Structure 1
């Protein structure tokens, strides 16, 4: 296959797909989020490839921590999660972005993972996890170590819930160790911090296209086959070839 040129048209592989990007920055002002600056690079690729893209700045919403679908039923005064969940449920692509704090993802990111986990008992029409057929990715920013640690934590959670994780489904940028500019901060000379990082540009692009490709494959295949993962059938006695091993005599 010939290598595409810069002026080649972008294939509309993502046409008809819903891509949801959730930014778990701790900044109340979405316009000041460094994580958002990185996420917009992937969002632009998705949009140019034909996807319907939605960006959620989680700090704009009241999402209490907990592992229930609606925390108002468990003592919270307010909970925006049920409305946000409608967007998640409709997504073919789910990307979680987070800054790094003390080597860890943000507290809002952990809250998001907990609230996603609260939906893990919800099943689709095949008796599978409601997350089956959805692909997941992670985007990380910071000026301290922890990029791969945060990505591994997020991607593990997503696959455990039922999302499909394509190859190279994470990207990010970190500056030099210690206090320094964050992604997109102005600099005295040259482009804004991180904008000239070949590593970040390449990984962001590859992650985004791999998410698109995997989402398209799942969409055209009507998700994953139900044999072997139909929880409804399991509860009714199906065992899909499982056989208990015989006891081994001493």
Structure 2
């Protein structure tokens, strides 16, 4: 949805506030670009615009456009996969990002199968550590964005955010947002109706939560970066060697 006056003012008032931070948005729609536009991407683009407007360097990946091997190792080619785009195209951006936002549609009340693949590939790096001996994702923040035509935003966000915090991401307050249409067949987010209006664009609730999520992710990421991440006290693998 086009950003409104409140969101534009927030960007103008904080134009350089978060410069130096990097964010990565991964869209786990099941549709590659060649097949169709993504309703989930439509929503994610608003959060991306907010962050870019506040000085964050933003990257975007659409998982369905790539060949990501199944598995829980950093490079599945070492275990026989013929192709695996994860280590060369995804991991460098994940590793560099202070903020990771995973977007997914809802299918049968759950996140997409590609969303699970991304979570599993993130988990593949859980054995890696930073210089302090902490898990490699310590000091990073995570969020979730969800679209669909059935109930499940909170359930899907819960699954994603639990997984992210379990492997080391910090989850700030209100770190998720989403939009769902009426139960059953109907327009998806951003679809244009006969009246010329786009489904979901008039949702103040979605717009507000998207703004809260975006700024809370930036605030938390900046606080962590300014303070050297999570203190390495009682959470370092070095103490257990």
**What is aligned with 1:55?**
60
Unaligned runs of 5+ in 1: 236-250
**What is aligned with 2:51?**
46
Unaligned runs of 5+ in 2: 1-5
1:14 Cα deviation after fit: 1.7
Matched, 1:69 2:69: no
**What is aligned with 2:29?**
25
Count of residue pairs the alignment pairs up: 232
Alpha-carbon distance between aligned partners in 1 of 2:168 and 2:144, rounded to the nearest angstrom:
15
Alpha-carbon distance between aligned partners in 2 of 1:213 and 1:120, rounded to the nearest angstrom:
25
- How far does the alpha carbon of each residue in 1:99-142 deviate from its partner, in whole angstroms, 9 at most, with x for none? 00000100000000000000001100110011001100000000
Check the 8 A contact 2:68/2:86 in 1, yes or no.
yes
Computed over aligned residues only, the root mean square deviation of the Cα atoms, in angstroms, reads 1.4
- How far does the alpha carbon of each residue in 1:128-172 deviate from its partner, in whole angstroms, 9 at most, with x for none? 011001100000000111111100000000000000000000000
- How far does the alpha carbon of each residue in 1:49-70 deviate from its partner, in whole angstroms, 9 at most, with x for none? 0000001001111101111111
Indicate the SS of the match to 1:69: coil
**What is aligned with 1:15?**
19
Q: TM-score, normalised by structure 1?
A: 0.90
Question: Of the candidates 107, 125, 130, which is equivalent to residue 119 of structure 1?
Answer: 125
The higher radius of gyration belongs to 1
The 5 A counterparts of 1:56-135 are 56-83=61-88, 84-135=90-141
- Please identify runs of 4+ aligned residues in structure 1 that moved more than 6 A: none
- How far does the alpha carbon of each residue in 1:34-91 deviate from its partner, in whole angstroms, 9 at most, with x for none? 0000000000000000000001001111101111111111121111110110110000
**What is aligned with 1:164?**
170
